Amino acid sequence: MQEFIPLIPNQYYHIYNRGINGEKLYKNPTNYTYFLKKYHQYIYPIADTFAYCLMGNHFHISLKIKSVEELTLTGFETRSGLKTPEDYSKFISKQFSHLFNSYAQSINKAFGKTGGLFETPFKRELIENDEYLKQLICYIHLNPIKHNFTDNFRTYPHSSFQSILSDKPTNLRRLEVIELFGGLNVFIEYHEENLLNNFGFIE
């Protein structure tokens, strides 16, 4: 059983989850878009996103929870009465619960199903240094190859890899990701090198 890790302001995390008993989370292409829409609604106000990848029955996300000051600016402190670290941790976790429940309800309605869709509790790991963050971002982008969802991570449509390369507007922390790797070319090379090395740095 995974050790419980609280979600607290100003910390980086690897968030991941899958469907109950391996059930598909995204049954058609529009489901991927709808999940991101719900993610934008519930998670973007409380966290900065660095990378993501959605695959048929699971997902991976790298993010940083906003600081107490940033959360206060969004009005959450006033609306939710957040005062202690425990208050913030519960609130942040509840936002993820809202995301999963809202998405599951819509999918159940569309496909005539009932009950939960995601495993609980959702998985999370604390990211404690820049090197691990780099490895994680790369791992997330290469994950569709690892699980045989594609043979080309560069063109996989449901990850943040193409958004990092693009100059189109994005809610991702694109510039911070590129700076973390030391430039866009290094970002690309890092992914290519780890693909050749069987991306074995994270299980």
Give average pLDDT by consecutive 10-residue segment, the chain, 203 residues: 81 97 93 97 96 97 94 71 85 95 94 90 95 96 93 96 96 97 97 79 45
Tell me the backbone φ, ψ of residue 15, rounded to 5 degrees. Answer: -110, 130
The domain ranges of the chain are 12-196
pTM to 2 decimal places: 0.92
Residue 128, pLDDT score = 94
For the record, the structure tokens of 54 come out as: 């959605």
d(CA 4, CA 88): 16
Residue-wise pLDDT for 158-182, tens only, equals: 999 999 999 999 999 999 999 999 9
Residue 18, pLDDT score = 96
CATH of 12-196 given 3.90.226.10, 3.40.50.620, 3.30.420.40, 3.30.70.1290: 3.30.70.1290
Query: 173: helix, coil or strand?
Result: coil
Residue 82, pLDDT score = 80
Q: Do the Cβ atoms of 124 and 5 come closer than 8 Å? A: yes
Residue 133, pLDDT score = 97
Residue-wise pLDDT for 131-162, tens only, equals: 999 999 999 999 999 889 999 999 999 999 99
